Amino acid sequence: MSNMTIALGRPTLADRIFSRSLALDIVLVAAGAALTAIAAQISVPLVPVPVTGQTLAVLLVGVTLGATRGAISLTLYALLGIVGLPVFSDHSSGWGIISGATGGYIVGFIFAAALTGWLAQREWDRKLLRAFLAFLAGSVVPFAIGLPWLAAWLGNAGYPNDVQSVLVAGFYPFIVGGLIKAALGTGIISLAWVGVRASDRRKAARAEAAE
């Protein structure tokens, strides 16, 4: 039983720090959802879509945990919000958020974590440029789902929902922040890998000294 795991595919940063096990996978998935909930409260209140810290948390969860655990973690986050826990931005919750202007972005977070996790499992997170590109790719995914969702919501609410109106409401305000988050994510994950490699070297040196 101790060898059971929900992690599929190649190892990620989390697997270099911890041994894979079902119990630990559950803890990591829950921690990823909690991190996203905390980051959601760091927000700039724009209408109809606020700027939040969620995306950075989502991408870090995906890169650290990999595609499967990352996607499960963000699915858990969405479900917790739907059932009433105040995990969405401004401590909001409920089905009304998912069916509203920002619902598509929240759904997109699941696929963003899966994509960045998939790239991390192919070691994109271990070199600066490729890590930055992985974070950028993950940043685009919520918009791919969120913008059509937002367009539908705007139309149903009686607001203009032509392409330009949708981009003004749900894309343009996030470009600079997205680039900054991608850079921050790249720095964080790169420093984490520096620490892991340094730990590996120390362990190898101790093992060599003990022989």
210 pLDDT band, cuts 50/70/90, is confident
- For the record, the structure tokens of 32 come out as 């990823």
Q: Are 26 and 65 in contact (CB under 8 A)?
A: no
Which neighbouring-strand residues pair with 80?
none
Identify the residue with better confidence: 202 or 149: 149
pLDDT digits (tens, 9 = 90+) for 102-146: 999 999 999 999 999 999 999 999 999 999 999 999 999 999 999
Position 181 in a domain: yes
Give the C-alpha separation, 44 to 186, whole Å. 23
Instruction: With cut-offs at 50, 70 and 90, classify the pLDDT of residue 5.
Output: confident
Question: Is residue 204 situated within a structural domain?
Answer: no
The answer to whether position 6 is within a domain reads no
Q: Note the pTM of the prediction, 2 decimals.
A: 0.94
pLDDT at 46: 87
Write the CB contacts of 207 (distance below 8 Å, at least 6 apart in sequence).
none
pLDDT, tens only, 47-96: 899 999 999 999 999 999 999 999 999 999 999 999 999 999 999 999 99
- CA distances (Å), 194 to each of 13, 125, 156, 191, in order? 11, 12, 49, 5
Q: What angle do CA 44, 191, 88 make, to 5 degrees?
A: 25
**74 neighbors 98 (Cβ within 8 angstroms):** no
Q: What share of the chain has pLDDT > 90, as a percent?
A: 86
Q: What pLDDT is attached to residue 3?
A: 67
Q: 101 is in which domain, residue-wise?
A: 13-195
User: Is residue 4 a part of any domain in this protein?
Assistant: no
Q: Is residue 20 part of a domain?
A: yes
What is the percentage of the chain residues whose pLDDT exceeds 70?
99
Domain contains 202: no
The string of pLDDT tens digits covering residues 134-168 is 999 999 999 999 999 999 999 999 999 999 999 99
- Give the count of domains, the chain: 1
Q: Which pLDDT band, with edges at 50, 70 and 90, does 184 fall under?
A: very high
Nearest to 145 by CA among 113, 177, 192, 189: 113
Q: Compute the residue count for the chain.
A: 211
Contact (Cβ atoms closer than 8 angstroms) between residue 147 and residue 153: no
Asked if residue 8 is part of any domain, the answer here is no
42: domain CATH number is 1.10.1760.20
Phi-psi label, residue 10: left if phi above 0, alpha if psi -120 to 50, beta otherwise: beta
pLDDT at 1 over 70: no
Q: Is residue 210 part of a domain?
A: no
